[in-house]
Amino acid sequence: MKTEILFFAAVMPFLTLCSVGPERSLEERMQEVLDKGISKYNVHGVSAAAIFPDETIWTGVSGISHDTVAMKPDMVFAIGSITKNVVAALTLKLVEENLLSLNEPLSKWLPRYPHIDSTITIRQLLNHTSGLYMFWDNQQIWDDLKRDRTKVWSPEEVLTYIKEPYFAAGAGWRYSNTNYLLLAMIIEKATGSILSTEFKKRFWQPLGIDHAYLSLEENIPDNQAHVYGDNFNSDGSNIDLTFLPRASHESIAYGSSGLFMTAKDLARWCQALFEGKVIQPQSMKEMLQFVKFRPIANMRAYGLGVQLYTRNFSSGKAAIGHGGGNIGTTTYMVYLPEFHVSIVVMINAFPNKSADVITKGLIRIVLKELKGIGLIPYFDFFPWGFFLICTIIFVVNMIILLISRRKKLLHILPNFRGQVNR
């Protein structure tokens, strides 16, 4: 009986670690994550939003945009590669309308280009299994970008920087912005329109999203959160980049980046998309067909314009969405399908660990509030969850063994002393 008591005394801290809830309100705890996140990593400011199952929307900010101007929820940020998610949704809408097919080849829509296999399918572009060379891997394009940051590049010019593919189409997975540049070109041919017009007509207006703008095609409002970095000069500087020329970067990344949004409107997009209000169920099924690979940073699989996050990023629960970085900004969009929750975090720095830490912190707090964190909250069960359980059992057994041995020793020692005294 005493041994059982000792066992539970040893194991109870592990069982209760994730169940003890603080007395402060949910809003106060979420705000603390923002405050500590930017303070620890020396970031100017952050804007965040979360949408709960009852459609309640929380928004929070911390820090400053610039000078003494506080960060505000209505400030827009460049969302970088999260733009891919919107382009993928648009592609699937066009498939629903029979304007495109996921399995049709590039050759149906585009002429031949060097180092681009015309048999690559639209699906392979969407899920990065085309093998196409990533134009940002070519140092020459960076050199030419910095030489004239005001230049507006055509897609055809960008494609001249493509080199040999990494692998044959369908033979592997590798992230490449080239895929989404080609998708943008295909969408323009299929619709006879431009991305910003299609986004507005098919998504923003029906959903009532008022703060979404595509760079170069639309005017970005003045209430941008100011952003900071070295402007790709790799010189250690951290200057205000907000209104410096960026047309070269934005045009090169057309289709793979370029959207500016508020945290609240991006969260609304995330919730609407994954709650089935944007594309049909069959299209969502296609979007969520993931190609799995060895985890890269916080991503363990990729669908059609959507990432599957590692479980240690989302406190052990399934999480999908997309991350994005742009000039001076880092953004995460996360949806927790089991809990019907969307979370968005935007910081005015790139690259910076603060966005990861804040996003993980908000996910953890929201899951605790919804009673969604269990005994093994931070790992995929195999191998790390299994390893953690085994470690706990081993430690507990060692504690019990040591206590038992000590009791035996204490029992034997008086008899031994008695024999010596004789």
pLDDT cut 90: percent of the chain above it? 81
Give the residue with greater pLDDT, 171 vs 4: 171
Omega before residue 351 within 30° of 0, cis: yes
pLDDT of residue 19: 44
pLDDT of residue 79: 98
Which range among 141-150, 297-306, 377-386, 390-399 shows the weakest confidence by mean pLDDT? 377-386
Give strand pairing partners of 57. 51
Q: By C-alpha distance, which of 278, 301, 284, 214 is closest to 251? A: 214
Is residue 415's pLDDT more than 70? Answer: no
Task: Please state, in angstroms and rounded to a whole number, the distance separating the CA atoms of residues 397 and 176.
Answer: 50
Is residue 368's pLDDT more than 90? Answer: yes
Task: Please state, in angstroms and rounded to a whole number, the distance separating the CA atoms of residues 186 and 216.
Answer: 19
Task: Please state, in angstroms and rounded to a whole number, the distance separating the CA atoms of residues 288 and 308.
Answer: 9
The helix/strand/coil state of 332 is strand
Is residue 384's pLDDT more than 70? Answer: no
Q: What is the mean pLDDT of residues 186-193?
A: 98
Condensed to tens digits (0 to 9), the pLDDT of residues 299-350 reads 999 999 999 999 999 999 999 999 999 999 999 999 999 999 999 999 999 9
Condensed to tens digits (0 to 9), the pLDDT of residues 241-281 reads 999 999 999 999 999 999 999 999 999 999 999 999 999 99
Contact 257, 324 (CB under 8 A): yes
Report residue 275 as tokens.
Answer: 């709650």
Task: Please state, in angstroms and rounded to a whole number, the distance separating the CA atoms of residues 189 and 89.
Answer: 17
Q: By C-alpha distance, which of 243, 203, 272 is closest to 51? A: 272
Is residue 16's pLDDT more than 50? Answer: no
Give the residue with greater pLDDT, 22 vs 348: 348
Measured CA distances, 195 to 190, 214, 417 (Å): 11, 8, 90
Task: Please state, in angstroms and rounded to a whole number, the distance separating the CA atoms of residues 318 and 286.
Answer: 18
pLDDT of residue 410: 62
pLDDT of residue 375: 54
Report residue 42 as tokens.
Answer: 């020396």
User: Where in the sequence of the chain do the CATH 3.40.710.10 domains occur?
Assistant: 47-369
Domain 47-369: give its CATH code. 3.40.710.10
C-alpha angle 194-78-228 in degrees, rounded to nearest 5: 145
